[in-house]
Structure 1
Amino acid sequence: MIEAAQFIEAALARGFSWYAGVPCSYLTPFINYVQQDPSLHYVSSANEGDAVALIAGVTLGARGGQRGITMMQNSGLGNAVSPLTSLTWTFRLPQLLVVTWRGQPGTADEPQHALMGPVTPAMLDTMEIPWELFPTDAAAIGPALDRALAHMDATGRPYALVMQKGSVAPCALKPQDRPAPRARCAARTQWRGGAPDALPSRRDALQRVIAHTPAASTVVLASTGFCGRELYALDDRPNQLYMVGSMGCVASFALGLALARPDLHVVAIDGDGAALMRMGNFATLGAYGPSNLTHVLLDNGAHDSTGAQATVSPNVSFAGVAAACGYASAAEGDRLELLDEVLAAAVPGEPGAAPGSRFVRLMIRAGTPDGLPRPTITPAEVKSRLARHIGADHGEN
């Protein structure tokens, strides 16, 4: 058994200053220590996949040797499979995983861990994530971290430490003042109405995004599917990244980048199907989102890239959700000018700006241009290009 401070301070000496995750009783001493150390950053995520995506965003923008750790119970690996296999692996965005081993064979545990316990090592192996047991002796901490770093630096991919019960000694959580909830904004709407064919196209909306996101000071992260492909077709700029897979993770990915890089204006372009998939992340952005993050939702009411099957988005006021969750501003409508207004107002560090991120949902018509190309630049190449463009540490992975 080790003290939480022994591992966390050794990790900090190697650049690990960012933590995100979902609690587990095995992780309690770990999380309690991290939350009380002012030199560390901790984000409590709605689910484990969002935590993985957030730390991937931190990694994307990292400068000065910053690194990140995602913490989760092994049951949460199910929530994290998509970003681990199609974001961190595909784009080569390394992070250290601390995964607890509930239901480890030979230990008594709750019935919900009876299957996940035995298959945890196989799950990590299947996802090509090397792993070892979390160190339980102080002398083993440095070597374990160094092995993890060697793999992460060589491959650009995650490494896992699997924590057994009783690995870390108790660490009390001292009474703390909870952050005051952010002021609730009023959701603003601008509906013109009319026939669906009169709505703006995705191309119209993306052209406005490009016009408001100069390459020198902004980063644009586009959701998977036709959103990223059409942005690429319009203008393949070095400040853009086109997600593949990781459906629903663009906002949490953008949150990590915006938190790590307050000098940049980060714009996340989301889709209605993706946003519905991980709506819990609205609460995380509402609580932690900085003023240099703008969340743009282009809503055509359909899963366009898979045959235009309808989503349930017409039943949802996304701006109402964003406002209730604590975004600094939230608007929705069907006028392109609304997108202009929100993006023009999003200036990082602007004096008097309300704390928190901005949200805008623009209704667009379904449909995609014929012959829409796929990016010829690979995910790893687009990540490295962007990292170099923003002066991050890892442009060559």
Structure 2
Amino acid sequence: MIEAAQFVEAARRRGFTWYAGVPCSFLTPFINYVLQDPSLHYVSAANEGDAVALIAGVALGARNERGVTMMQNSGLGNAVSPLTSLTWTFRLPQLLIVTWRGEPGVADEPQHALMGPITPALLETMEIPWEPFPREADGIGPALERAVAHMDKTGRPYALVMQKGSVAPYPLAETEPPRADACAPRTQWLGAPQDGLPARRDALERVIARTPLDSTVVLASTGFCGRELYALADRPNQLYMVGSMGCVMTLALGLSLARPDLHVVALDGDGAALMRMGSFATLGAYGHSNLTHLLLDNASHDSTGGQATVSSQVSFAAIAAACGYASAIEGDDLALVDTLLARSRRDGIPDGPHFARLTIRRGTPDGLPRPTMTPADVKARLMRHIGAA
């Protein structure tokens, strides 16, 4: 058994200062230790996949800093999508600490009866090398060195699988949860019919005009959003997500926290936002004014045939406001994109992310191209552009 400080301080010496995850009783000493060290960063995610995407955002922008994602092995199910289509595809490394509930031969709760035995195979299937979490102090350094070597060589995650009783208890002092004042949602509805709504292209052209290369990063959600942004203007300050649906919010949050000098704009879709709506609460609690969240809502899964979503009965601005965003607006008026991107601390609005939901008409131009660069090359170009390579 080791002390939490022994591992965390050894990890700090190797650049690991960012932590995100969902608690497990095995992880309690780590989380308690990190929470009480103001020089370390811990973000409590709504689910394990969001934590993976957030630390991926840190890896995208941080200079000489690394991140750790912590989860119970049951949460690997929630993390499969970003682990296989975000961190693997874009080569965004992170250290995973996965607890081994239901380890064969160790009595545990019935919900771990299947995940316990298959945990190693699941990691191996996702091409994530793993080893047991060190249970002796002299094993910490070598384990971290192997993890760092793999991450630096491949740009992909490495996992330490933690068995029961690996870390001694560490008490948690009384701490205040992150919170922000709720804003009042606003609307800009013109009552336009479907064929009179703005097109996605109209909104993206305004985003491009208001996101200067030297100070702004634009992250576009998977599907036609990223492809149309690429077709309009392929710029080095842009990243086009593929897969990992719904993760653009927490990817942007991680980048914005790691790089407060940048204005980070997350372009979202209604289907993606509905899929990971818990991320609104995480952004509202931890996000700052350098994070802008624009949801382009055509009430459909446009890139898979136009099947309807349930977004027409959802007030995303009310959700964002209730979750602690600094400002939240929705409507069908294209001008709200300009309003959103003009917001800043100087407006006298409390610190926090800014949100807008613009309803747009369905449909996409024919022959929309896909990026000719690989996702890893798009990421590398962006990292060079912002000085994070």
Q: TM-score, normalised by structure 2?
A: 0.99
219, 223, 238: which one aligns with 1:240: 238
Could you report, residue by residue, the CA deviation over 1:315-352 in whole angstroms, capped at 9, with x for unpaired residues?
A: 10000000000000000000110111111224xx6474
Q: Partner residue of 1:60?
A: 60
Question: Are residue 8 (structure 1) and residue 8 (structure 2) matched?
Answer: yes
Q: Secondary structure at the match of 2:239?
A: strand
Question: Are residue 23 (structure 1) and residue 38 (structure 2) matched?
Answer: no
The aligned amino acid for 1:372 is L
In 1, Cα distance between equivalents of 2:342 and 2:347: 15
The aligned amino acid for 2:174 is P
Q: Partner residue of 1:325?
A: 323
Q: Partner residue of 1:133?
A: 132
Q: Partner residue of 1:71?
A: 70
Q: Partner residue of 1:121?
A: 120
RMSD: 0.9
Q: Secondary structure at the match of 1:254?
A: helix
User: 1:194, CA displacement in angstroms?
Assistant: 2.6
The aligned amino acid for 1:154 is K
Distance 1:144 1:292, change over 3 A: same
Q: Secondary structure at the match of 1:382?
A: helix
Could you report, residue by residue, the CA deviation over 1:87-115 in whole angstroms, capped at 9, with x for unpaired residues?
A: 00000000000000000000000000000
Distance 1:342 1:92, change over 3 A: same
Q: Secondary structure at the match of 1:43?
A: strand
User: Are the counterparts in 1 of residues 53 and 86 from structure 2 also a CA contact under 8 Å?
Assistant: yes
User: 1:178, CA displacement in angstroms?
Assistant: 3.9
User: 1:353, CA displacement in angstroms?
Assistant: 4.4
In 1, Cα distance between equivalents of 2:158 and 2:256: 24
Could you report, residue by residue, the CA deviation over 1:33-69 in whole angstroms, capped at 9, with x for unpaired residues?
A: 1111111000000000000000000000011x10000
Q: Partner residue of 2:185?
A: 187
Unaligned runs of 5+ in 1: none
Aligned pairs, number: 389
In 1, Cα distance between equivalents of 2:82 and 2:141: 28
Q: Partner residue of 1:363?
A: 359
User: 1:175, CA displacement in angstroms?
Assistant: 2.0
In 2, Cα distance between equivalents of 1:364 and 1:351: 27
In 2, Cα distance between equivalents of 1:353 and 1:137: 50
The aligned amino acid for 1:132 is E
Q: Secondary structure at the match of 2:265?
A: strand
The aligned amino acid for 2:381 is R
User: 1:176, CA displacement in angstroms?
Assistant: 2.5
Q: Secondary structure at the match of 2:170?
A: coil
User: Are the counterparts in 2 of residues 49 and 79 from structure 1 also a CA contact under 8 Å?
Assistant: yes
Q: Partner residue of 1:176?
A: 175
Q: Secondary structure at the match of 1:359?
A: strand
Q: TM-score, normalised by structure 1?
A: 0.97
Q: For residues 145-294 of structure 1, what are the structure 2 equivalents within 5 Å?
A: 145-179=144-178, 181-294=179-292
Question: Are residue 382 (structure 1) and residue 382 (structure 2) matched?
Answer: no
- Among all aligned residue pairs of Structure 1 and Structure 2, give the percentage whose two residues are the same amino acid: 78
User: Are the counterparts in 2 of residues 291 and 353 from structure 1 also a CA contact under 8 Å?
Assistant: no
Distance 1:292 1:8, change over 3 A: same
The aligned amino acid for 1:202 is R
Could you report, residue by residue, the CA deviation over 1:199-223 in whole angstroms, capped at 9, with x for unpaired residues?
A: 0000000001001100110000000
Unaligned runs of 5+ in 2: none
Question: Are residue 82 (structure 1) and residue 67 (structure 2) matched?
Answer: no
User: Are the counterparts in 2 of residues 129 and 158 from structure 1 also a CA contact under 8 Å?
Assistant: yes
Could you report, residue by residue, the CA deviation over 1:136-172 in whole angstroms, capped at 9, with x for unpaired residues?
A: 0000000000000000000000000000000000001
In 2, Cα distance between equivalents of 1:320 and 1:170: 41
In 2, Cα distance between equivalents of 1:208 and 1:175: 46
In 2, Cα distance between equivalents of 1:305 and 1:322: 25
Q: Secondary structure at the match of 2:228?
A: helix
